[in-house]
Amino acid sequence: MAAAVLLAVVVTLVFAEEFWHRHLCPYGTFLSVSAHFAKRGSTVNKDQCIVCGFCEKTCPTAAITADAQGKRRIDSRYCLQCFRCHDVCPTQTIRYGAWAEHV
């Protein structure tokens, strides 16, 4: 147990936050599997995205990337549904809903 705690501390200090969420966290792994089958999740309405990048900067798992025009999109495999991106989006264009609603 002590070794596990020590390892967690080292990983937290040495690696970026998304490394933990993407590759080591058991809960994150479980969520990535369930996200594969999910019918709902956080999505960006690209028509209202003003390409500010605030969402990408605040995402703990680096699940948000930009397309060729800079419009953001969310990779559901890495999204924890923490809603941090919802809170910082100035146009409130990130919503939780059925995938088809915001594509």
Beta partners for residue 13, in sequence order: none
**Cα separation of 23 and 40, whole Å?**
23
Tell me the CB-side half-sphere exposure of residue 85, using CA atoms within 13 A: 29
Site string for ligand SF4, 29-68 (x = CB under 6 A): -------------x-x----xxxxxxx--xxxx-xx----
**Cα separation of 103 and 101, whole Å?**
6
Rg (CA), the chain: 15
**CB of residue 8 vs ligand SF4: minimum separation in angstroms?**
20
- Among 94, 98, 100, 103, which residue interacts with ligand SF4 (rule: CB under 6 A)? 94
Which of 58, 50, 56, 39 is CA-nearest to residue 101?
39
**CB of residue 67 vs ligand SF4: minimum separation in angstroms?**
11
Please say which residue, 14 or 47, places its beta carbon nearer to ligand SF4.
Answer: 47
Q: Would you tell me which residues interact with ligand SF4 (CB under 6 A)?
A: 42, 44, 49-55, 58-61, 63-64, 72, 74, 79-85, 88-91, 93-94
